[in-house]
């Protein structure tokens, strides 16, 4: 393939899988040209230009409101204008294939590509497909799903392929020793329990951790790494005496998450698609606290999938407390057989070769279209 175009935006859960696909294409086709359609207001405008030689094409688009609103009339108008703009970009760039990874910006981009006869693939990162995926699945050549269960919501798709999430491919190259070193734990061989609430943190998780802190000294055989999120770090460290617990490390943010995950024995986190892709690729057991504030409550089906397969435990935010969280951590970490089974089942759900599988499919559909 000489040229590949990508689209996906709004959140890292859509952008980073797209960039993982870009890297996988480059590994196989070093001279490939990569294009990216996004918005100037989304995170993609900040992240994509830092990811190497990628041509960025911007469109103006907005998502549909979940309830009846006059704003949706403007959304339709912007969609039509965006489709026209995307067709201009696609004709100029002449991609061999087009990939979308979700977010409303990928709607007009893939729709335009499909109408122009460009081979197309959309990746759905969550168990419950977003509105964009459900709309596009009837037009694109392939709908790639990251997690089992999505297929039952995509009854009008032309073709469904279980590829996994390409973010999982990235963490398989991670270095656990570097992860321990970055945490200041290179001299310890204790299992690590990593607690985080997403890039900005999550106050309900922070509150539960604060409530369970007095119990941490009871688990001297474990190292706890607690990531507060940068916006919460000062408040959290003002409340707790971090020196009081020698087996506790508090961080505002982790920049080398793949390496840290590779060193981790148990994760306590939200249930975003990227997090699940990384955990299942590495086979890390998880206690998942899905965010109830996301669109369509899509994190709960993600968490429930891991729980149903004995790869994780789910605690709904309304049931979260320091005591409940502590009991669940102890239940997993003090039972080596349970921990091993959870790890094995988690790995079964993962597709560490996801990025390569998607590139295989892009080569196939672009070759068949010639």
Q: pLDDT band for position 265 (50/70/90)? A: very high
Which residue(s) pair with 134 in the sheet?
A: none
Is a pLDDT exceeding 60 seen at residue 302?
Answer: yes
Q: Can you give the residue ranges of every domain in the chain? A: 3-170+352-369, 173-349
Task: Count helices and strands (H / E) in the chain.
Answer: 15, 13
C-alpha–C-alpha distance, residues 297 and 312, integer Å? 18
198 is known to lie in a ligand binding site? no
Query: pLDDT class for 136, splitting at 50, 70, 90?
Result: very high
Q: Is 254 annotated as a binding residue?
A: yes
pLDDT for 334: 96
Point out the least confidently predicted range of 203-207, 320-324, 325-329, 366-370. Answer: 366-370
For 61-75, what is each residue's pLDDT tens digit?
766 555 555 566 677
Map tokens 């397969």 to a residue.
309
* Reported confidence tier of residue 269, pLDDT bands at 50, 70, 90: very high
Q: What is the pLDDT of residue 65?
A: 56
Structure token digits, residue 48: 């994509």
Residue 103 labelled as part of a binding site:
no
Residue 370 confidence (pLDDT) above 80: no
Per-residue pLDDT of 68-121, as tens digits, reads 555 666 778 888 999 999 999 999 999 999 999 988 899 999 999 999 999 999
Q: What is the dihedral of CA 65, 67, 69, 72, to 10 degrees?
A: 40
Same fold, 3-170+352-369 and 173-349: yes
Superfamily for the 3-170+352-369 domain: Glycogen Phosphorylase B; (3.40.50.2000)
Distances, alpha carbon 215 to alpha carbons 194, 209, 264, in Å: 16, 10, 20
Mean pLDDT of 300-315: 97
Beta strands in 1-138 (DSSP E): 3-7, 33-38, 54-58, 97-100, 120-124
From residue 86, give the alpha-carbon distance in Å to each of 83, 98, 145, 343, 370.
5, 12, 24, 43, 22
Q: Which of 70-74, 228-232, 296-300, 364-368 has the lowest mean pLDDT?
A: 70-74
Report which of 299, 298, 267 is spatially closest to residue 281, judged by C-alpha positions.
267
Is a pLDDT exceeding 80 seen at residue 185? Answer: yes
Asked whether residue 31 carries a pLDDT value surpassing 80, the answer given is yes
Cα within 13 Å of Cα(301), Cβ side: 18
pLDDT, tens digit (0-9, with 9 covering 90-100), for 337-353? 999 999 999 999 988 89
Q: Which is more confident, 240 or 301?
A: 301
Reply yes or no on whether the pLDDT at 42 is more than 90. Answer: no
Kindly state the tokens that stand for 118: 């460009």
**Helix, strand or coil, per DSSP, at residue 196:** strand
Q: Flag whether 148 is marked binding.
A: no
Choose the weakest-confidence range: 145-149, 182-186, 236-240.
Answer: 236-240
The answer to whether 37 is a known ligand-binding residue is no
Strands of 192-196's sheet in order across: 248-251, 223-227, 192-196, 266-269, 286-288, 312-314
Distance CA 256, CA 128 (A): 29
Return d(Cα 194, Cα 265) in angstroms, integer: 8
pLDDT at 317: 96
In CATH terms, the superfamily for domain 173-349 is: Glycogen Phosphorylase B; (3.40.50.2000)
Report CA torsion sign: 236, 239, 242, 245. Answer: negative
Across the chain, mean pLDDT equals: 92
pLDDT confidence of residue 237: 87
Alpha carbons 344 and 346: distance in angstroms, whole number: 5
In this predicted structure, which of 190-204, 231-245, 266-280 has the lowest mean pLDDT? 231-245
Q: Does residue 46 contact residue 67 with C-beta atoms inside 8 Å?
A: no
CA dist., res. 213 & res. 229, Å (int): 17
- Residues 171/283, Cβ–Cβ less than 8 Å: no
Q: Quote the CA–CA distance of 205 and 228 in Å, as a whole number.
A: 9
pLDDT at 66: 56
Flag whether 62 is marked binding.
no
What is residue 101's predicted lDDT score, i.e. its pLDDT? 95
Share of the chain above pLDDT 90, in %: 73
Q: Which DSSP state fits 43?
A: T
Rank 16-20, 60-64, 322-326 by mean pLDDT and report only the highest.
Answer: 322-326
Give the pLDDT confidence of 190-209 residue by residue, as tens digits: 999 999 987 677 889 999 99
CA angle 157, 126, 27 (to 5 degrees): 85
Which of the four pLDDT bands, split at 50, 70 and 90, describes residue 238? confident
């Amino acid at each position: 393939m000489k040229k590949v175009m990508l689209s996906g935006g709004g959140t890292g859960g859509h952008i980073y899988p797209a960039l993982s696909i870009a890297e996988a294409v480059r590994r196989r086709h070093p001279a490939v040209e990569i294009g990216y359609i996004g918005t100037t207001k989304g995170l993609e405008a900040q992240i994509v230009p830092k990811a190497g030689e990628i041509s960025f094409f911007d469109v103006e688009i907005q998502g549909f409101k979940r309830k009846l609103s006059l704003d949706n009339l403007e959304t339709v108008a912007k969609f039509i204008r965006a489709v026209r703009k995307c067709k201009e970009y696609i004709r100029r760039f002449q991609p061999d294939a087009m990939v979308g990874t979700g977010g409303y910006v990928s709607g007009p981009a893939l729709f335009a590509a499909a109408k122009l006869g460009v081979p197309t693939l959309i990746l759905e990162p969550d168990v419950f497909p977003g509105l964009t995926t459900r709309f596009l699945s009837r037009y694109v050549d392939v709908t790639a799903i990251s997690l089992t269960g999505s297929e039952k919501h995509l009854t009008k798709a032309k073709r469904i392929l279980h590829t996994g999430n390409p973010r999982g491919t990235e963490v398989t190259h991670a270095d656990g020793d570097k992860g321990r070193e970055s945490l200041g734990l290179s001299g310890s061989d204790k299992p690590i329990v990593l607690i985080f609430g997403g890039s900005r943190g999550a106050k309900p998780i922070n509150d539960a951790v604060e409530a369970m802190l007095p119990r941490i000294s009871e688990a001297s055989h474990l190292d706890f790494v607690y990531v507060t999120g940068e916006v919460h770090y000062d408040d959290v460290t003002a409340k707790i005496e971090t020196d009081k617990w020698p087996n506790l490390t508090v961080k505002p943010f982790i920049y080398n998450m793949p390496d840290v995950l590779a060193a981790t024995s148990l994760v306590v986190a939200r249930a975003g698609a990227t997090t699940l892709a990384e955990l299942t690729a590495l086979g890390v057991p998880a206690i998942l606290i899905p965010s109830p504030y996301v669109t369509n409550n899509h994190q709960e089906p993600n968490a429930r999938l891991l729980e149903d397969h004995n790869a994780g435990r789910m605690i709904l935010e309304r049931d979260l407390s320091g005591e409940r969280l502590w009991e669940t951590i102890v239940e997993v970490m003090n039972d080596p057989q349970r921990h091993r089974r959870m790890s094995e089942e988690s790995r079964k759900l993962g597709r560490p070769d996801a990025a390569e599988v998607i590139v295989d499919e892009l080569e196939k559909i672009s070759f068949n279209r010639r």
